[in-house]
Amino acid sequence: MTGPAVLHRPDRIYDGYGLDLDGTVYLDDALLPGAAETIRALRGHGARIVFATNKPLATAATYAAKLTALGVEARVEDVVTALDSLVRYLTRTHPGARLLMVAEPLVGEVCRRAGFAVVTEPDAATVVVVSFDRTFDYAKLLAAYRAVRRGAVIVATNPDPYCPTADGGLPDCAAMLAAVEACTGRAAEAVVGKPSTHMGAAILERLGVAPEHAAMVGDRLATDVAMGQCLGMAGVLVLSGATRIEDVAGAPAPPDFVVPTLAEVIPHTGSHAR
Domain-ending residue, one of 191, 218, 251: 191
Domain-ending residue, one of 191, 211, 228: 191
Cα–Cα distance for residue pair 245/250, rounded to 1 Å: 10
Number of domain units in the chain: 2
Give Cα 168 to chain centroid, integer Å: 19
User: Which residue, among 126, 137, 181, 135, has the nearest Cα to 159 in the 3D structure?
Assistant: 181
Question: Do 110 and 169 have their domain in common?
Answer: yes
Q: Is 168 exposed, middle or buried (0-12, 13-18, 19+ CB in 10 A)?
A: exposed
Domain-ending residue, one of 174, 191, 208: 191
- pTM (2 d.p.): 0.83
Give the residue numbers spanning the domain of 124. Answer: 93-191
| Measured CA angle at 37 (ends 36, 38), to 5 deg | 90
Question: Do 40 and 113 have their domain in common?
Answer: no
Residue by residue, pLDDT tens for the chain (274 residues) are 344 447 788 889 999 999 999 889 998 889 999 999 999 999 999 999 999 998 888 889 999 999 999 999 999 999 999 999 999 999 999 999 999 999 999 999 999 999 999 999 999 999 999 999 999 999 999 999 999 999 999 999 998 888 877 788 889 999 999 999 999 999 999 999 989 988 998 899 999 999 999 999 999 888 899 899 989 999 999 988 778 888 778 777 788 899 999 999 998 764 554 4
Question: Do 121 and 47 have their domain in common?
Answer: no
